[in-house]
Structures are given as C-alpha cells and as structure tokens.
Structure 1
Amino acid sequence: MDSYDYVVVGAGLAGAATAWRLAARGHQVAVVERSEPANDDGSSHGSARIFRYAYAESGYSAMVKESLSGWAELEGLAGDPLIIPTGCVDYGQDREPEGLAAVLSEVGVDHELLSADDARSRWPQFAFDTEVLWHSGAGVLDAHRTVHTMVSAAVGLGAHFYGNWPLASARRSGAGFLLTNGRGEQLRAGHLVVAAGGWLPGLLGGLDLPTAFLAALPTFKVMQETAFHFPYKEQPAPGDSWPTFIHKLPGIQTYGLPGGRDADFRGQKLAEFNGGKAIPDASAHDHLIDPAHRARIIDYVKQYVPGLVPEPYAETTCLFTNTPTEDFVIDSTDGITVLSPCSGHGAKFAPLLGTLAADLATGAGYVPSRFRPTLAAAGRGA
C-alpha cells in the first residue's frame, strides 16, 4: 500500500496549489481527485474567472497583492500568461464605489473614481447608475490552465496524482490516516489536506474529525450557480477588451467578464452572485438551467448592459461553496487540514492559498485567525 507524508484531497485550485507548495518543500505528496483536475463538477473549471483587487476591507485586497509573486512564478511555469489584464468597473447602490476606492488607496492599488456620466463616456456599453470605481490592474484568469500548471508542477517535483479516486473515508491508523476510496482501494497518509470544494459537506462525516472541531466549522452552503454568455453587439477591436464588472443593487448582484476560450471569446460571461439554488453538496449538481433565472438575467442585460445582445449563446453551471461571512476556512486539527477558500471569490488567491495551507499543515507559518474558526471558538481569536 502506498504511503505519503501528505495526501491532498481535491485537485481544484486550492488543492493543486497546496500539493505544489508541499512538493516544493520536499515532502512526499499525493493528490487524490474523484475525477480529473478542474472538472465540471467542481469550482475550478473553465477559462474565465475575475482577478480583482477591490474589496470592502483591506485584508483581502492586501492578500491579492501578496499573491502576485506566486502568479508570476506560475506564469513562468506555464510559459504563457494566466491572467489577461482588462481592468474592472465596480458600481451600483450597494457596491459602494467610494468605500472601495478608500480601501484601494489604503493598500496602494492604482484606481479612479468616476461619475456615472464620465464612466458612460468611456464605456458606453454599460448603463452606469452610480459612481464607478475603475482599477486597471484587474483582469481575467484562466482557472483550468492554472490548475493543470500547478498539478504538473507538483508531479514534476515528485508528487503522485491519483485520478478517478473518489475518497469515501479517512480513518486514523497509527500515527496517520488510512484513506479508502469508493472501490475499496487504500492509501496511507501522515497528514491529510481536504480541499474538496462542494464535496466537502458530504465528506466531513467520514474524516474522523474531533467533535469540537466539527462544531466550530461554519455551515458550508453549496450553491449551484448559472453563468450565461451574451454576444457583443460590436466585437472589440484586436488588442482591446471589455473590463470585468461587479454591479450590486438591492436584491441582485451581478458580475461579468470577457468570456474565455470555452465560450469562443465571442461575448461577455455574466452571472448573478448567489443567484442559483442551494444543494446539499456537489453530488446533487444536476447542471440544469432554471428558465426563470435565465429570463431574469436577460432582463438585466436589456436594462443595464446595452452593449450586449440580450440572447445568450452559451450557458453553464458551476458550484460556490459559501460560508455565512464569505470568509475562507483554512483550519487544522490532529493531522487534518480543512481548506475551503471559496464563497465565489477564491480563485485569484490560488498560489497564496497553497502557501497558507502548506504552512498550516506543516506548522511552518501563520494563517490569519479570521480563517481559523476553531481559534474563535476557543476564545483565542476572531
């Protein structure tokens, strides 16, 4: 039976990053994935995710800056850019562009705060309804290529990848763990890192975790989200692109970005943040599009994005695994690290998340207490 210092469960962005960082430190590492890296039943597939700096408080914005050296390292390994710069516009009554601008000033990110009229002059494809925050450092990251770059890097450093290996349970055995998949195959691990995304709620009961640790974890709510691709009325000129955007109104928050190669680069990928349906875990992902939700987004495009043809030419589903505060979970106990940096905004931090998880799993470094709910439960942080 094969045995490893660390077994990482899940080959999405977080798991692949952790395996890469652990392998780079010389550890014996395996990655087990129930299907294949960046598969369609997870949260890390596709070629288009927003990379941005704008957050309502400075902690996350500072972490985006901290991630940049990791992105440069990954792009060197990939041989091509993984993030395409487009800039981002943030607006809407509940998005509070002025507050976002103050945060970007605090962390030292270049930006502009524009009136709605000035923004419409610059980007007539949007019907801006409030002041607009613009920061040019935002862009679109390729999640699929990022995952595969990190998995390849980990394997190149000696890690082993086990595809089509659906974990069923991880039980304590001696000083480590005995992992068993759905076919009864087994591996041994000294330490377990669980980065299972939408599969996490269904796995927690089979991980031999202490009752107090489980009780301290937040409720993980898995949402089946829907994204629609709308064609441009006028195709951007070569070398030009639409910005990404986040628009937050009472009752609806939307986001959009130039669609990647999986939608033929023909238009804008647009979705409602947490506008889908709650499901127990990823096993209930049915990939079905709700016609009523499609109609709601079409109506939104007609009103607020006049530069798009309000007829989607492609549509897809994906999973968000949310915590109540939208904070990440990077926590550990007795040889198990639980990693859930999701809530729909984790992709941009991928290389940094791998460092944080590897630091926590090995005891080599610090993880912010806001990501460790067990510390708050013990009264040692918040």
Structure 2
Amino acid sequence: MSFKNIYKGKRVLVTGHTGFKGSWLALWLTQLGAEVHGVALEPKTPDDNFVVTGLKNKINHHICDITEKEKLVTRFGEIQPQMVFHLAAQALVKKSFDNPVDTFRTNLMGTVHVLEAIRYTPSIEMAVMITSDKCYKNLEWDWGYRETDELGGLDPYGASKACAEMAIQSYRESFFRASGSDSYSPVVASTRAGNVIGGGDWSEKRIVPDIIRALMENNPVELRSPKATRPWQFVLEPLSGYLWLGVRMALEGDLTSGWNFGPEISTIVPVQTLTEKIIKAWGSGSIEDISDSAEFHEATLLSLDISKARYRLQWRPTLSLDETIEFTVQWYKKFVNNEPLYDFGIKQIHDYTKKALERGIQWAK
C-alpha cells in the first residue's frame, strides 16, 4: 500500500500552502499525482519555499484568508475537494505575545471556519487538521505527552492550538463521522508535531532560520534559550505521518482522533546542541548566549509520545538528528548558491522516501 494509490487523481485542498510545511506538503502531493489546490495568504518573503520552487505554477493557487468565513466556504464550494489538509495558522510563539487577538482569530476561529467549510462541502471524504505539540498543558515532564493528556497553554499560541483541538473534537462529535459510525460524512482527525525544521523556512524568532541568517551574514548565532529542549524533526517526517494517516482514514475510516507525529527520543536535544551541529554542517560559525528570561515565556521542555502512531499506523520517524540537519543545511546551501530549488525539493522527497523504504517503514512500501 503506497501513498500514490490513494492520492493519484484526487482533488486535494491544502490550507496554508504558501507557508513552510504547507508548501512542502503541496510539493509532495504533486509528486503523488494529486490535483492540488492551495488556499492561503500570499507568501511572506520572496525567499519562501513556495516562491523559490515556483510552486505557484505547479498547483491551483488561491488567495483566501481563513478568518473570512463566507469567502472560505465559497472557495471550498468552487473547488469541491475530496481531501483536505488544514495547515494555515499563525505559527509563531513570539508573535502570539505581540498580537494575541490575531493569533486566536487565526488559529481558533480560522480552524472553525475551515470546519464549517468542510461541513458544507459534500465532496469532502476526509480531512487532516494540523495543530501543534504546544496544544498540551506543559508540566515540564521528562517524558513525552500522549494524545490523552490534558490540553492547555500558558502562552497565547499554545492556548489557541488547544482551543483549536477542542473545536475539532466538538465538530467531529457533533457533525462529522466519529469512530465506528457508518453515517456518510467526512472523517476528520487532528495531528500534532514537534519543532519542524527544513529548507525554505525564513520565519522570525524561529531557531533554524535565525541560525541560517546569522551564518549567511557571517555573524555569531544568538541564542535566547540555549538549554531549551525540543523534538527536532525534518519537515518531511510529520508530513509523511499526515499523508499516511490520510491514506489509512480513506481506507478504514475509524481513525478519527488526535495523533502525535514526533521524532525519536534520540533527536530531542537542547537548542545549543542543535546549533553546534548546524554550524559544523555549514562549515563555520560561532554562538553567542543572549538568554533573557524576561523576554517571553516559552516552555523549556516539551516532547511527544508517538506510541499510538507507531502501533496503530505502523508509522515511525525515518531520519536521525544528523541526517535531519544534513537535509536541512543542504537546502540552504543550494539557496545560497542560487541552484534550482524545485528540482532539489523533489530530490529531497525522493531521497527521504528511499531511506524510509530501506528502513522498512510502512508508508514507503
């Protein structure tokens, strides 16, 4: 069973396709033979993955704000997608402190609007809603959070994602097909991933883009939270989980719930360790500690338990931390050298899939 058997020829709508993860997902779906439609705001910079890969010319590109409900519902009705992946979001913790109202408007009400659009579009068979690992109430545990753990959020970003999860669950139980139901309506699941890194991300106040910008400018890499640990994973890792969950939902229909798609424990390291490894892969660079406990609150310890996905979906991560960094740094080096990034993005998808197949991972077979 492969992705291609399910997505080939399907109308697949991706919200947030101009963003970092959304652009990679849209690119992958084109390789799987899907008719891809993207609904999002304009890309933020001319260097974003969506722009430099020329993805606008490879898919059906629609500009639409998910906070505008009527326009969104109309757009869904025009496209009549069969499958939906919802990634559009305000995805930055720092920005959530600067503008909490906009964060809740986008992440909570934007998600509700997408759910409404799904509800009123009869062509939709399946939807995967992407939230965040930060939807969990963080108790600074040494072990990973499970899908059954309490939702919460000390910062506006985490709280907005917890609210989105509750909205998804409410709509699933109230309007959509829940596990074990035979009624005809979309199957809807939610997914949570850790800190995702990879080529084409230029977000402000995000660790890898900040590192790369400093290295490109021959400046020291400034770290505000060098001891904070994160579940680092290459961008294609959670995307493989989303795609595989979509396949299994399409075939089985009874997997409607929350799912964690995180890395192995061995890839969970402090920010400083990640930075040192990136500098080594880049070939030069230095670190400057600018820790400021008063800047804004961000959890220092956060990881996911992926046992549910491992045993029920037979999904697991593919890459080691060193491989994750190698894939990531390679992309940015290609960018610096002005090499064709559409072709290189496809190559990375093929290389990643090949590694997954060699390691016996189910979705790649």
What TM-score does the superposition give when structure 1 sets the normalisation length?
Answer: 0.28
User: Which structure has the larger Rg?
Assistant: 1
Of Structure 1 and Structure 2, the greater helix share is in 2
Of Structure 1 and Structure 2, the greater strand share is in 1
What TM-score does the superposition give when structure 2 sets the normalisation length?
Answer: 0.29
Structure number with greater CO (CA < 8 Å, separation at least 6) is 1
